[in-house]
Structure formats: C-alpha cells, structure tokens
C-alpha cells in the first residue's frame, strides 16, 4: 500500500448543541490553531485472590478533543471563546474536518465543553491562545474515511 499523508489545510471545527443541529452548526476554522482527537485506554485492576495475584484488564478506549484557538472575545457574539464559556460543562456536538478539500473525511461526536482562557501576558500576541482545553467525548466519536464514503454511496445506489 502506498504512503498516505494528510495535510491539514483549511480545517473546520463545527460546534452545535445537538447532533441534529450539527449540519448547520457554527464553524470556527479561522480561530483554530490545533484540534486533535486522541484515544486512551484505561486499565481496571483485578484484585488478587488465593489462587492468583493482581492483574489488569484493559477497558474500551476513551476519546478526547484537545483544541487550541486564538482568544476571540471581541469577535461578534464573543466568538468560540464566548460560546465555550456559555456552554461550560454542558454537552455539545462537534465535527472536525481536517481538510475542507476532502470534506468526506471527518470525525463527529458528543463532547463536554470546557472553556478556554481569558487574558494572557501583556504585550505578547502569542499569549492570546485559549489554553488547549480538553473536551472529553461522552461517547465514541464516529470517524468517516473514504472507504466508508464509497460503501455508503454503493448502498445508496
């Protein structure tokens, strides 16, 4: 299989209150500097018994979205900074498209919103980052890749 390299050009992050509203959700592509969905596996410790010592059993992975954006409190409506603050601790839905030229490759799912920072080091423009909040997925995100798109199109035909 040949090497495939994804280039993140014109990525888009959409946010909405519900999955149904996601198609028309608000996109924040111009403020986002990084958006990464990561998985991690936790382990459950099985206690020792009279016949065996303790052991560990892996659980299903949990997913999180680490998102970094430029603070945009002065944008109309307060931008993503105000949206995240208004939705702090609440459920929401996200859609991450790494490259709008390939909008079929994306991930969507439900998250719990964490607000970003307000303020920074005076006189330092780079300090205007929101602080890379981590939005935990409340359920496994859906990853759509080209093979899935082809299979969906074949089923629809």
The DSSP call for residue 139 is S
Segment 1-12, tens digit of pLDDT? 778 777 787 888
Segment 82-119, tens digit of pLDDT? 999 999 999 999 999 988 778 788 999 999 999 998 88
Average pLDDT of the residues of the chain: 86
CB 34 within 8 A of CB 67: yes
Residues 128, 120: Cα–Cα separation, whole Å? 6
CB 35 within 8 A of CB 89: no
Neighbours of 48 (CB within 10 A): 10
Q: What is the pLDDT of residue 153?
A: 52
Residue 84 Cα distances to 23, 35, 69, 81, 114, angstroms: 19, 15, 11, 5, 6
């Amino acid at each position: 299989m040949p090497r495939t390299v994804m280039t993140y050009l014109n990525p888009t992050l959409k946010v909405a209150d519900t999955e149904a509203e996601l198609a028309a959700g608000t996109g924040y592509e111009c403020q986002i500097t990084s958006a990464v969905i990561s998985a991690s596996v936790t382990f459950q410790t099985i206690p020792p018994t009279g016949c065996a010592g303790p052991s560990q059993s892996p659980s299903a992975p949990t997913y999180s979205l680490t998102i970094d954006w430029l603070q945009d409190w002065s944008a109309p409506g307060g931008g993503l900074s105000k949206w995240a603050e208004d939705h702090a601790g609440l459920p929401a839905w996200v859609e991450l498209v790494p490259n709008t030229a390939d909008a079929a490759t994306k991930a969507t799912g439900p998250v719990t919103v964490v607000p970003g920072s307000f303020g920074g080091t005076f006189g330092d423009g780079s300090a205007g980052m929101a602080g890379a909040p981590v939005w935990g997925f409340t359920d496994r995100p859906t990853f759509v890749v080209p093979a899935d798109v082809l299979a969906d199109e074949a089923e629809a035909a």
